[in-house]
Amino acid sequence: MVSLVGSVLFPAKMHHESIRSRKFCVEGAKVFNLTSSGRRFVCACVAPSRNLMPTDGLSTSKFTGSSNEENLSMRREHEEDSDVLIECRDVYKSFGEKHILRGVNFKIRHGEAVGIIGPSGTGKSTILKIIAGLLAPDKVLVSYVFQKGLLFFRPFKLALYSAYPGQNLVSSMVNEQGEVYIRGRLRRGLISDEEISGLRIGLVFQSAALFDSLTVRENVGFLLYEKSSMPEDQIAELVTETLAAVGLKGVEDRLPSELSGGMKKRVALARSIIFDTTNDAIEPEVLLYDEPTAGLDPIASTVVEDLIRSVHFNGEDAVGKPGKIASYAVVTHQHSTIKRAVDRLLFLYEGKIVWHGMTHEFTSSTNPIVQQFASGSLDGPIKY
């Protein structure tokens, strides 16, 4: 599956000895034991390498032993889905009593530029975090066995487990409620470096989430300093090249506090697209942007929107090289971002994708939820 290895970031005040030092902590973030041997890393994003033979839901063994017709239809489905990089199937996510996602289904295919929109608090950022592996779907108890031989099956929920603390539980089985597939491979639980995905997934947080105490160079090259065997001067060169690709020059030695909001977002973008050029395995990469233009003036928004397009493999970066990002998903509320940076939209409402379509179909949709959202009207099914 996906391991957090590659790009993104968190809010931060960090104490460190040097970028290649062994340990430090980041306020407000979750993990954070960076070791040289080190596989445990948090931050934000991304991912592994290696082979991926479809398993689980897409196993070729599924094509044996059934009728020819069934085989053909399954093969067709498999072929149609061969370009799917990320799939959420019936994903549920709650926070305490708040049931945020209630059966979310969608696919992101190779080459797509997808927007995720919907009213505030509907779970758009939550979806990105689930895709990136920072959050797991809800858990549901499938069965459990007590010493006295009692066996319970669904729909008993995990909460029941703690309702029988003294009953000598022998074993239990808990499944995730919903599935996330990364290139056809089912992800179980949260991201772990040991797991395999064959897809690099980067998450660019809304806040840019740069390390306050590190220079721009150290922020952008963070993972390479920490994880790769590249010499430092080569990393520095690559950082300069990557900053140029997002239209920034001569800022390598600045601290984040010396940058404007738009520049910070570009630095965060540079951090999410830099990768180890000495590594043979070249993987497609998906970037997830959480409100990349929030808080920016209209012109700065346009710059960032064009940047998002430019690092896509259909685009051309600021120094004229083709972009490297295979697909991306953008959570946004901004019309300009929807129009300029996205081709297809997913509309999330009350825990489900209630509409999807091409961007140009959005304003002409007859779906009352979409109509109300597009017009900003107070009248309609969406209540605040």
Q: Which CB sits closer to ligand ATP, 285 or 291? A: 291
Q: Is 11 helix (H, G, I), strand (E, B) or coil?
A: coil
Count of residues interacting with ligand ATP (CB under 6 A): 10
User: Which tokens is 216 given?
Assistant: 């721009």
Give min distance, CB of 305 to ligand ATP, in A. 18
275 with 6: CB under 8 angstroms? yes
Taking residues 39 to 78 in sequence order and writing x for each that binds ligand ATP by CB under 6 A, - otherwise, the string is ----------------------------------------
DSSP 235: H
Q: Is 378 helix (H, G, I), strand (E, B) or coil?
A: coil
Q: Which CB sits closer to ligand ATP, 120 or 171? A: 120
DSSP string across 27-63: TT-S-----SS-----SSB----S-----GGG-GGGG
Q: Which CB sits closer to ligand ATP, 221 or 351? A: 351
Give min distance, CB of 46 to ligand ATP, in A. 20
Q: Which CB sits closer to ligand ATP, 225 or 328? A: 328
- The set of residues, in sequence order, having a beta carbon less than 8 Å from that of 322 and lying 6+ positions away, is 313, 315, 316
Is residue 185 involved in binding ligand ATP (CB under 6 A)?
Answer: no
DSSP string across 115-180: EEE-STTSSHHHHHHHHHTSS---EEEEEEEETT--EEETT--HHHHHH-TTS-EEEEEEEESSEE
Is residue 295 involved in binding ligand ATP (CB under 6 A)?
Answer: no
Q: Which CB sits closer to ligand ATP, 135 or 169? A: 135
Taking residues 122 to 141 in sequence order and writing x for each that binds ligand ATP by CB under 6 A, - otherwise, the string is xxxxx---------------
Beta strand pairing status for 179-182 and 84-95? antiparallel
Among 51, 120, 162, 257, which residue interacts with ligand ATP (rule: CB under 6 A)?
Answer: 120
Taking residues 90 to 119 in sequence order and writing x for each that binds ligand ATP by CB under 6 A, - otherwise, the string is -----x--x-x-------------------
User: Which tokens is 110 given?
Assistant: 């190779």
- Applying CB under 6 A, the residues found at the interface with ligand ATP are 95, 98, 100, 120-126
